[in-house]
Chain A
Amino acid sequence: MNASTPTLTARLTELLRKPFVWGVLAILLLLVVNLLKDPSYLAIRVNPTNGNLAGNVLDILRASAPIVLVATGMSLVIATAGIDLSVGSVMAVAGATSMQYLQSADAASSMSAALTAMAMSIALGAVLGMVSGALVAYVGLQPFITTLVMMLAGRGLAKVITSGQNTTATNEQFRWLANGYVGGFPVVFLLALVIAILIMLVVRRSALGMMILSIGINPRASRMAGIKPAGLLITVYALSGVLAAIAGMFAVSSVMTVDVSQTGYQMEMDAILAVVVGGGSLAGGKLSMGGAVVGALLIATLDKTVVFLGVPSSATPAFKATVILVLFLLQADNVRGLLRSRRPRPTLPTEPVDTKVSVAA
């Protein structure tokens, strides 16, 4: 397959095979569309007083921060052939916890209060994730049911924490999370990027990535090779919970209010879309965290574009859902296309497992 000097077309086709290249192209396409409406769309202004950058691009980056985090977590969970439908609710729980704590702490500019709020939210996110992970790993409950329950119970938990109120709080340091700038760049995006890169490094540099993929691709072979799936699964779901909690903190920090019904609403759809656009497959065994980040940026760009073009934003969920459906179909079709070219298609949906016959390739 690899010639000694690949031609340009060969290189291009190879590049196009990488799924997140499509995501990048889509982002560029959307930006072009925006430019058509307003040629100064990409302009970046520097605020003379504080040196902060401003502009549409910066808005997109800011909006993408929570999605980046949730998508990173989701990509790891999906790689194990699982799914986490509870990320939106965990965001709400984290937001509720931090707002409720800060409101009762009544410390408008206390760093320690801010840090405590953050620690509590992250811890709660981790706990919820570990519960899901334990149910999947030890009880063998299917991920979609486990996290579906967690999704609905989580929303309820958020409402219980705030007693149904959309709690507001004041805290300078916590507010800085979503509204502050460092070196002119919005902190929230920098943080999200740093965290995502950190996780990518840990997964790539350690054996985690390989082992996660292994159990997603072939759990039986992984077991025979001595891999212990339980710890890995719990870690992955706990991580998803932690990242969702941080995303929740970002979400409430921007307005310093938690909306127990709306915070994180339908975020799981954005996360799944980002992962699938980035090359992940719900059947497991594929991990592209970079692709998920690209997917997250794409979603943020899409959301902003829709508003910018004056299209009612209530239409976006339907559009996103359609894209998800098409991508699922393509993934399924790929599998079927492969099958079609391989064997005479058996007329039964499945045949009895005959482990004694070796299917020599």
Chain B
Amino acid sequence: MSVSTPTAPVVGTDEPSAVSRLWGWASARWRASASILPTVAAVVIFVGMIVYGESAYGRIVQASTLSNLLINNAHLIIIAIGMTMVIISGRGGIDLSVGAVIAFSSVSGVLLAGAGINPYLVMLLMVGFGTLFGLASGVLIQYFNVQPFIATLAMMFLGRGLASTLSTKPERLEDDSPIRELGAVIKIVDGPKVDDLMVTPGVIIAFVVVAGAFFVMHRTRLGRTIYAMGGSRTSAALMGLPVKRTILTIYTLSGTLSGLAAVVYTSRLGIAQNITGLGWELDAIAATVIGGTLLTGGAGYVLGSVVGALVLGLMNVLITRDGGIKPETTTIITGGILLVFVLLQRAVTARRRE
């Protein structure tokens, strides 16, 4: 089973020398690295793609491209964060409803704004709708013992269905709607020609979400419980951790983040439609997996998922720049990458178990 390490580094008993302390730190990091390695790999892949892109197409390593990368993928980062938490919690945790919730939330939001409701209230409602969907999923999963994929699949159907009921054609936000301000570009650094360092409030929101998620996962008992549940659901329960409450919380959070992503996305685009978000659950899952989260749960980092989202975004940029690869192939490529990563994960965990 596991390897006994009779030479476990001695820590804390007598005064260790600086060298042995360093050695202890380094070997502890190395042993813990098993779980951080995939995330490091994701960063390496990202950097590699940038290097490749720059050499193949040029104009990648510049402020405007990188700014746009963040601006255009802020919504994906947000839902990837929610997906990460849900997947880390283990036992097949997943949220298939993210895209549908975004569709419903954005369509209803635009319609409400068009009907004259206070735009700030509308944004709040958009997030709130997400919360409701998430809560429903959480109740189904925790209280009714429905498997996560089944519960969130039902929510996905419901979200899409309700969005279609509201409208089947693109709905447009007023040009002067304050909601659009969240998508308004802010120039941080005015560079030569169009090469500016830009940001939108949407990106800032995404950053706040990431920072908040990082804090929750690593500095709160909720986060530690999520990791523990992913390691072993039964152990977490036996250790007296509040498993049931946590399940409800993470699915509600995921739904809320979907609502928030709807706000960020709609504010940038200004248009909402019932077919928005088709396939985004796969993007969120792919971002999470690429970022180093194990589909089986128990391991992963929210920062990794951010990298994963950017990898996907960058892939899109490179494909567009290339021109030779058809845009229709993006879903195939995303699916293929996801499969490759999952297979790799399986191979590595299988070998580790022996």
Residues of A within 8 A of B279 (CB): 152, 155
Over the window 265-288 of chain A, the binary record of Cβ atoms lying under 8 Å from chain B Cβ atoms (1 yes, 0 no) is 010010000000000001100000
Residues of A within 8 A of B311 (CB): none
Judge if B153 is at the interface, Cβ distance under 8 Å.
Answer: yes
A83, A153, A314, A348: the one contacting B164 at CB < 8 Å is A314
Minimum CB–CB distance for B326 against chain A, Å: 6
Residues of A within 8 A of B147 (CB): 282-283
- A75 to B243 alpha-carbon distance, docked (Å): 34
Q: Report the nearest B residue to A353, measured CB to CB.
A: B234
Q: Is the CB of B144 within 8 A of A336?
A: yes
Q: Size range of the interface on B? A: 35 or more
Q: Beyond the given A152-B334, A164-B326, A318-B162, could you list 10 further A-B residue pairs with CB under 8 A, ordered by the A residue number?
A: A149-B339, A152-B279, A153-B335, A155-B279, A155-B331, A159-B326, A282-B147, A317-B164, A321-B160, A332-B144
- A295 to B295 alpha-carbon distance, docked (Å): 34
Judge if A115 is at the interface, Cβ distance under 8 Å.
Answer: no
Q: Is the CB of A149 within 8 A of B326?
A: no
Q: Report the nearest B residue to A312, measured CB to CB.
A: B165
Q: Is the CB of A328 within 8 A of B158?
A: no
Q: Is the CB of A321 within 8 A of B154?
A: yes
Residues of A within 8 A of B332 (CB): 153, 156-157, 160
- A312 to B237 alpha-carbon distance, docked (Å): 48
Q: Is the CB of B160 within 8 A of A317?
A: yes
Residues of B within 8 A of A139 (CB): 343, 346
A140, A155, A333: the one contacting B346 at CB < 8 Å is A140
Q: Is the CB of B326 within 8 A of A335?
A: no
Q: Is the CB of B335 within 8 A of A325?
A: no
Q: Is the CB of B161 within 8 A of A317?
A: yes
A150, A153, A320, A329: the one contacting B157 at CB < 8 Å is A320
Judge if B175 is at the interface, Cβ distance under 8 Å.
Answer: no
Minimum CB–CB distance for A97 against chain B, Å: 15
Judge if B150 is at the interface, Cβ distance under 8 Å.
Answer: yes
Residues of A within 8 A of B338 (CB): 149
Over the window 320-334 of chain A, the binary record of Cβ atoms lying under 8 Å from chain B Cβ atoms (1 yes, 0 no) is 111011001100110
Judge if A14 is at the interface, Cβ distance under 8 Å.
Answer: no
For window 126-163 of B, CB contacts with A under 8 Å fall at 140, 144-147, 149-151, 153-154, 157-158, 160-162
Over the window 222-249 of chain B, the binary record of Cβ atoms lying under 8 Å from chain A Cβ atoms (1 yes, 0 no) is 0000000000011001100001100000
A160-B326, A328-B154, A332-B144 as given contacts; A145 in contact with B295, CB under 8 Å: yes
- A359 to B284 alpha-carbon distance, docked (Å): 42
Residues of B within 8 A of A352 (CB): 234, 238
A153-B335, A153-B336, A350-B233 as given contacts; A318 in contact with B165, CB under 8 Å: yes
- A324 to B97 alpha-carbon distance, docked (Å): 15
- A317 to B166 alpha-carbon distance, docked (Å): 11
Q: Is the CB of B282 within 8 A of A149?
A: yes
Minimum CB–CB distance for B305 against chain A, Å: 17
For window 111-142 of A, CB contacts with B under 8 Å fall at 135, 139-142
7 closest Cβ pairs, A-B complex? A318-B161, A317-B161, A159-B328, A156-B331, A321-B157, A153-B335, A321-B158
Judge if A183 is at the interface, Cβ distance under 8 Å.
Answer: no
Q: Report the nearest A residue to B346, measured CB to CB.
A: A139
- A317 to B279 alpha-carbon distance, docked (Å): 18
Q: Is the CB of B342 within 8 A of A141?
A: yes
Residues of B within 8 A of A315 (CB): 161, 164-165
A135-B339, A144-B153, A322-B158 as given contacts; A350 in contact with B234, CB under 8 Å: yes
Residues of B within 8 A of A336 (CB): 144-145
Judge if B329 is at the interface, Cβ distance under 8 Å.
Answer: yes
Residues of A within 8 A of B343 (CB): 139
Q: Is the CB of B145 within 8 A of A335?
A: yes
- A353 to B232 alpha-carbon distance, docked (Å): 12
- A194 to B116 alpha-carbon distance, docked (Å): 56
Residues of A within 8 A of B164 (CB): 314-315, 317-318
- A149 to B282 alpha-carbon distance, docked (Å): 7
Name the residue among A145, A266, A333, A336 with the largest chain B CB count within 10 angstroms. Answer: A145
Judge if A349 is at the interface, Cβ distance under 8 Å.
Answer: yes
Minimum CB–CB distance for A152 against chain B, Å: 4
For window 53-95 of B, CB contacts with A under 8 Å fall at 92, 94
Minimum CB–CB distance for A82 against chain B, Å: 11
- A148 to B274 alpha-carbon distance, docked (Å): 20
Minimum CB–CB distance for B147 against chain A, Å: 8
Name the residue among A152, A322, A348 with the largest chain B CB count within 10 angstroms. Answer: A152
- A209 to B145 alpha-carbon distance, docked (Å): 28
Over the window 150-170 of chain A, the binary record of Cβ atoms lying under 8 Å from chain B Cβ atoms (1 yes, 0 no) is 101101110110011000000
Q: Is the CB of B335 within 8 A of A152?
A: yes
Judge if B330 is at the interface, Cβ distance under 8 Å.
Answer: yes
A315-B165, A349-B237 as given contacts; A148 in contact with B281, CB under 8 Å: yes
B96, B145, B158, B244: the one contacting A144 at CB < 8 Å is B96
Q: Is the CB of A318 within 8 A of B158?
A: yes
For window 196-227 of B, CB contacts with A under 8 Å fall at none
Residues of A within 8 A of B167 (CB): 314
Judge if B168 is at the interface, Cβ distance under 8 Å.
Answer: yes
Q: Report the nearest B residue to A332, measured CB to CB.
A: B144
Name 15 interchain pairs, CB-CB below 8 A, sorted by A: A139-B346, A142-B149, A144-B153, A145-B342, A149-B282, A153-B332, A156-B331, A164-B328, A314-B168, A317-B165, A321-B157, A321-B162, A332-B140, A349-B237, A350-B233
Q: Report the nearest A residue to B150, measured CB to CB.
A: A282
Judge if B285 is at the interface, Cβ distance under 8 Å.
Answer: yes
Residues of A within 8 A of B92 (CB): 142
